Structure formats: structure tokens, C-alpha cells
């Protein structure tokens, strides 16, 4: 595991979503056997060259939420706190890795917080890939809410990181990672809030909280984010 210079179980639906997404990526790059001849074939070939160049600029980012911790189970805000995975979280991470085994993942990146980096290490083993850490992928800093249960924060003013500041650092990190892997698929192991900041950049709003080790995919091309269904 290497730092970059910046400082329940996986559901059947989640596994199926990953497999379907990766199959769709592979099929979208498969050649069409029906080709023309003569000038028509040359025109088609020329078009394919340009289309191929366009495809190669697209980076596919597969985001996975980290596995479960005791604080997740108890409903405590984690923020920048660093609790480890519990046994359920480690099993979720193993199932995520097995789902991705043999798939065309070029690199694995993670938040440097332990619940994410441990998930990434376990999931990356079947892929035979190292884990690169980037602190910009951390969860939002929740300030004095950290360690408290949801009901304990009722009426307590927010004194943590703003969503705008969180989005700025997360999106900058994803852009940089995408730029380092043109035309490739990259796994990012992150946090629920981090995932929602990427969703906001791609579809204009954060989606409901994803289960631990569930995944969501986005294409990055020319600095723009586009959801992959």
C-alpha cells in the first residue's frame, strides 16, 4: 500500500451490478463483424480510428464504499475518525474482491482512512494490484458530530467541513486519477459522503446512501463526469 504525495455483506444486487457494468464495458468495445468493402470499408475503418481515439479518452471510475465498521453498525458519525473494519466488513471486502477477480481493473486507489484502505487491500488481492492512497478521497470532516449517534446530534449545529469544500477536493482527486488512466477502468474505495460528492458532479445530486461495499460507476471524459447505468 503506497501513499500518493497528497496528503452486512455485499448484496446479490451489488454483485450483479458490478458484473453487468463490466460486461457492458467489454461489449461496448467489441468489433462489429459486419464490415463494408472498397471505399465504404475504408470510410468505416477511418471512422473506427476516430471512434477508438474517443473511447481511449474515457476513464471508467468504479467507486466502492468501504466495508462495515462497528461505528457503521451503531449509527455513529465517523468523519475523519479511523475505526477499523469489523468481521462483517472484512467479509464484504472479500466478496467485493471475488466479484472483481479477472476483470479489467487497471489500478486501485483508496482513501487513507483505515476502513477504506483495509477494504481496498482485501479487494485488491484477487486482482494482484497494489493500493494507492489519496487523503483527498477521505470522508467529509464532521467536526463535533464525530463519534456521536444520529439522534445525539439533533439540534447540534454543523461545525464540520462544508459540502463545497469536500466536493472540491474529491472531484480534484478523481480528475487527477482519471487523467493518469485514460481508457482504463479504475477502482476507488471511498466513503458514503465521498461517493455522494462524485454523484453530485455526475448527476446533480447525491443519491441515497449505498450499502457497505456496494459500487457505483462514472465515466470521466474531457473533465466531465457521466453516470454509467
Q: Are 68 and 8 in contact (CB under 8 A)?
A: yes
Angle at 154 between CA 209 and CA 143, to 5 degrees: 70
What is the residue-wise DSSP string for 33-82? S----HHHHHHHHHHHHHHHHHHHT-EEEEEEEPPPBHHHHHTB--TT--
Sole residue written with cell 450499502: 211
**Residue 68 annotated in active site:** no
Please tell me whether residue 19 adopts helix, strand or coil conformation.
helix
Active-site annotation holds for 139 = yes
Q: Are 200 and 168 in contact (CB under 8 A)?
A: no
Q: Name the nearest CA neighbour of 132 among 188, 216, 172, 67.
A: 188
Q: Which of 91, 118, 139, 200 is catalytic?
A: 139
For cell 487513507, what's the residue? Answer: 112
**Residue of 66, 95, 166, 191 marked catalytic:** 66
Residues labelled catalytic: 66, 139
Amino acid at each position: 500500500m503506497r501513499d500518493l504525495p497528497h496528503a452486512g455483506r455485499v448484496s446479490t444486487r451489488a454483485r450483479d451490478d458490478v458484473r453487468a457494468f463490466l460486461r457492458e464495458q467489454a461489449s461496448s468495445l467489441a468489433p462489429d463483424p459486419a464490415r463494408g468493402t472498397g471505399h465504404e470499408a475504408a470510410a468505416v475503418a477511418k471512422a473506427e480510428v476516430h471512434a477508438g481515439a474517443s473511447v481511449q479518452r474515457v476513464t471508467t471510475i468504479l467507486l466502492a464504499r468501504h466495508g462495515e465498521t462497528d461505528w457503521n453498525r451503531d449509527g455513529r458519525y465517523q468523519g475523519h475518525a479511523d475505526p477499523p473494519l469489523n468481521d462483517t466488513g472484512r467479509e464484504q471486502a472479500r466478496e467485493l474482491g471475488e466479484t472483481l477477480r479477472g476483470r479489467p481493473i487497471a489500478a486501485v486507489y483508496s482513501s487513507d482512512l483505515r476502513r477504506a484502505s483495509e477494504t481496498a487491500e482485501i479487494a485488491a488481492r484477487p486482482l494482484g494490484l497494489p493500493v494507492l492512497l489519496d487523503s483527498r478521497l477521505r470522508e467529509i470532516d464532521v467536526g463535533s458530530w464525530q463519534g456521536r449517534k444520529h439522534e445525539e446530534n439533533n439540534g447540534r449545529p454543523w461545525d464540520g467541513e462544508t459540502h463545497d469544500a469536500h466536493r472540491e477536493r474529491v472531484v480534484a482527486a478523481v480528475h487527477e486519477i482519471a487523467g493518469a488512466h485514460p481508457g482504463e477502468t479504475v477502482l476507488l474505495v471511498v466513503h458514503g459522503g465521498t461517493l455522494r460528492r462524485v454523484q453530485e458532479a455526475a448527476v446533480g445530486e447525491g443519491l441515497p446512501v449505498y450499502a457497505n461495499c456496494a459500487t457505483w460507476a462514472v465515466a470521466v471524459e474531457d473533465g466531465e463526469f457521466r453516470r454509467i447505468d
